[in-house]
Chain A
Amino acid sequence: DGGITQSPKYLFRKEGQNVTLSCEQNLNHDAMYWYRQDPGQGLRLIYYSQIVNDFQKGDIAEGYSVSREKKESFPLTVTSAQKNPTAFYLCASSISSGGPYEQYFGPGTRLTVT
Chain B
Amino acid sequence: AQKVTQAQTEISVVEKEDVTLDCVYETRDTTYYLFWYKQPPSGELVFLIRRNSFDEQNEISGRYSWNFQKSTSSFNFTITASQVVDSAVYFCALSEANRDDKIIFGKGTRLHILP
Contacts and interface: CB of A to CB of B under 8 A. Distances in A.
Contacts of A48: 100, 102
A2 interface: no
18 contacts: A31-B101, A40-B9, A42-B91, A42-B105, A48-B100, A48-B102, A88-B43, A92-B45, A96-B101, A99-B95, A99-B101, A100-B33, A101-B101, A102-B35, A102-B50, A107-B42, A108-B43, A108-B44
A88 to B, nearest CB: 6
Interface residues of B, number: 25
Interface in B25-76: 33, 35, 37, 42-47, 50
Interface string A18-50: 000000000000010000000011110100101
Contact of A94 (B44, B97, B101, B107): B101
Nearest to A45: B102
Contacts of B101: 31, 50, 94, 96, 99-101
Contacts of B4: 42
Interface of A: 31, 40-43, 45, 48, 50, 56, 58, 88, 90, 92, 94, 96, 99-108, 110
Contacts of A31: 101
B95 A100 contact: yes
B45 A90 contact: yes
B77 to A, nearest CB: 15
Contact of A106 (B33, B44, B102): B44
B103 interface: yes
B47 A103 contact: yes
Given A42-B91, A48-B100, A105 B105 contact: no
